[in-house]
Amino acid sequence: MYKRLSEQVQSLVNPQRSDTFIKRFREAVRTGQIKAINLPSERFTMPKQYTRRGKTGTYQKDTKEMLFEVTPEFEAWFEEQNKDLAVSRQGGQVKVTEETLAAGLVDFGALARETQAKMQASYEKGQLLGKSRGAKSKPGVPRASRRHVPAPAKRAHNPHAGVRQAV
């Protein structure tokens, strides 16, 4: 039995990884793991949605259509690839949403511990900062009196001081 690459791509769990699947598929054809042929002048649109940096909206790419032989070896290879591509990119972060929590793609317990640790560190940093500012004050002198120190009292003006009188 033969199948089109475009049909197989539709059965991926994560269509955003279709570009990676196609690269791996072509590599497997090149190395002889999968037997396939190119269908000349036929192309299909990949389901992946691409975005350009700094721009709004998405676009899609076309790729060459191929026809391949469906064998038990291919089925096993596809299951492995599909499982590997089901999660987001290696090294990438899965965005935390209710859906990803429900699907089990993120660990709620680990995220809760991480949130608690961040909040505790922030709290301790604030406490430490407050203590370091308080330590700079002079002991026994209230803060309010340090802010405004009254100028020393001036002596009354004597217009005759320092003036010599003629005798």
40-71: pLDDT as tens digits? 889 988 888 888 888 888 888 888 999 999 99
Cβ–Cβ < 8 Å for 75, 38: no
* Torsion 38-41-44-50 (CA) sign: positive
pLDDT at residue number 141: 57
pTM: 0.50
81 CB-near residues (< 8 Å, 6+ apart): 21, 24, 25
pLDDT at residue number 54: 83
